[in-house]
Amino acid sequence: MPLYEYQCTECNEKFEKLVRSSFAEAEVSCPNCGSSLVKRLVSLFGALGFSGAGASSGCAPTGGG
Ligand SMILES: [Zn+2]
């Protein structure tokens, strides 16, 4: 069962909801204010942090005069 994240456009409340089918999205309402004006955010499984390589070796001393 896919889990989608929604955000209320009335109170900007973010909440997750299990949507069985596409038509079920119409029944999604904000648990905070009860408004049906919600928008679906990016899937939680979509954005996964990738491992970045951060290795800086030494730092050459600069002589200024
Ligand atoms: Zn709301």
| C-alpha distance from residue 25 to each of 42, 50, 61 (Å) | 14, 30, 60
Write the DSSP symbol of residue 21: S
Taking 60 as the threshold, does the pLDDT of residue 49 lie above it?
no
Instruction: Output the CA 31–ligand 1 centroid distance in Å.
Output: 7
The mean pLDDT of 21-26, rounded to a whole number, is: 69
What are the strands, taking DSSP E only, across 1-65?
3-8, 14-18, 38-40
Taking 60 as the threshold, does the pLDDT of residue 53 lie above it?
no
What pLDDT score was predicted for residue 45?
57
Average pLDDT score, the chain: 76
Instruction: Output the CA 37–ligand 1 centroid distance in Å.
Output: 8
pTM: 0.57
Instruction: Output the CA 61–ligand 1 centroid distance in Å.
Output: 56
What pLDDT score was predicted for residue 65?
61
Give the start-to-end residue ranges of the domains of the chain: 3-40
Question: Which residues are found with C-beta within 5 Å of the ion, ligand 1?
Answer: 8, 10-11, 13, 30, 32-33, 35
